[in-house]
Structure 1
Amino acid sequence: MQVKTVGVLGLGDFGQTVALELSKYGCEVIAIDNNAKNVQEVSDSVTYAAIGDFTDIDLLKDIGIEHCDIVIIGTGTNLESSVLAIVHCKKLGVKQILAKAKSLTYEEVLYEVGVSSIISPERDSGIRLASKILRNKLDELLRLDENTALIEFTIPAEWIGKSLVELDLRNKYHLNIIGMREEKGGPLLTLSPNALLMDEIILVAIADDNTFEKYDYLGYFA
């Protein structure tokens, strides 16, 4: 399996955290922002960092966004920029695009233009994860901001022998799977949506904190 390549467009606090942490997890990360200081903050850690306007499709071509398995649009306040970035990424053949959105209206627009999934940290404040859930059900949890987390968890027994397509985790549980590990601390690997999940693999996902409360994480995965 290949190491996953992730593009991060927009390097505010959220985008920087995503870029730096995914790099630590073994991803190849291409990061871009029009603020030189923000780019400098991640340049020593990511695979490639560029200063520029991520709504410029020629720039996206130059930095190799078409080679990304996933692109994460880290700005949620400028709807026009997010829309243009999504449209350009789709034109370049990116299959999975995640975008941050500040409101339900933004979400509706971004889904209309073809975003794969939304990260909505401003909606449904979720700083209520019980320590029992963290200890017993998640291998790792890293907060990306107040309401969004990067998580690792060993798959439940009910998922063994099923594919991500069959499980439909994104729609059912708002879990955006970005890769897998074969063992704790191992490299982050690409996981085909049609591959059958095997026992003891570790899934890595981005999710809203309230995902776990909304879908009774403790009960479902027990």
Structure 2
Amino acid sequence: MKRFVIVGLGNFGSSVAEALYSRGHDVIAVDTDERAVDNIAPHCSRAAVGDGRQRETLEEVGAGEADAAVVSTGDDITASILATMALTDLGIENVYAKVISHNHARVMVRLGVTETVFPERESGYNLASRISEKGVLNYVRMARNLSVQELVVPDDWRGRTLRDLEVRAQFGVSVVGIHDTTNDEMIVPPDPDETLERTDTLLLAGPDDALEAVAELANETAT
């Protein structure tokens, strides 16, 4: 079990706190909004009303022993910066920060955060990727040159094997899993000699342009 401290309990911060707590971790949640603290209290180890920008406040709630922290202070960039500085002053090495713009992200990177998260941009990008291609069920951008998508098996691929299709050689993407939707079973890694069925979906990883090419093939061959 790890200890996490969440500073800022808007939709994003509260969701992270609840998800970590549901996985059995020790979660400390801090916000200046008493109502937000009351709402998250049943879903974390400790919820406290306080100023997460202050090192003293964070020390009082036990944040100094945390393995990692998440800063989610809404549109208040100054609060985001000060909370991050207070957390790093406590010796917390892994700090993840929600950002609201590219400039905000640049500042947080300069402060040495482990990772910045831009939920609105990422959600918009993923939605656009899904709805622009008929066969794409899920799409997650992992980095600038790597994304993962779940794709309905193209008609021309049904009844064939991954070894026969040579997907990586043909398209430059890797099939990292096969989702058998009839049993709701994800097979990772996939069997290269297993025949692909109509009820299967493929979990593909690779550059955006290569994934788009595969999705276009699925659209062209769809019946």
Same fold (TM over 0.5): yes
- Secondary structure, aligned partner of 2:105: helix
Among 105, 110, 131, the alignment partner of 2:137 is 131
Aligned to 1:6: 4
Contact 1:7 1:29 in 2 (8 A): yes
Contact 1:137 1:218 in 2 (8 A): no
- Secondary structure, aligned partner of 1:7: strand
1:18-167 to 2 correspondence within 5 Å? 18-124=16-122, 125=124, 126-127=126-127, 128-129=129-130, 130-131=136-137, 133=149, 137=177
Higher helix share: 2
Larger radius of gyration: 2
Task: Give 1:69 deviation, angstroms.
Answer: 1.0
- Give TM-score, length-normalised by structure 2: 0.59
Query: 2: distance between equivalents of 1:82 and 1:62?
Result: 19
- Unmatched 5+ stretches in structure 2: 131-135, 139-148, 152-175, 180-185, 191-204, 214-223
Write out per-residue CA displacement over residues 70-124 of structure 1, whole angstroms, 9 at most, x where no aligned residue. 1011124111111111111111010100000111100111111121110011325
Distance verdict in 2 for CA 1:212–1:113, change over 3 Å: same
Contact 2:71 2:80 in 1 (8 A): yes
Aligned length: 151
Aligned to 2:14: 16
Contact 1:76 1:99 in 2 (8 A): no
Query: 2: distance between equivalents of 1:54 and 1:70?
Result: 14
Contact 2:178 2:188 in 1 (8 A): no
Distance verdict in 2 for CA 1:216–1:107, change over 3 Å: farther
Query: 1: distance between equivalents of 2:5 and 2:206?
Result: 26
Distance verdict in 2 for CA 1:35–1:24, change over 3 Å: same
Distance verdict in 2 for CA 1:217–1:86, change over 3 Å: farther
Query: 1: distance between equivalents of 2:42 and 2:12?
Result: 18
Contact 1:29 1:47 in 2 (8 A): yes
- Counterpart of 2:31, as a letter, is D
Aligned to 1:145: none
Higher relative contact order (CA 8 A, sep 6+): 1
Query: 2: distance between equivalents of 1:35 and 1:212?
Result: 42
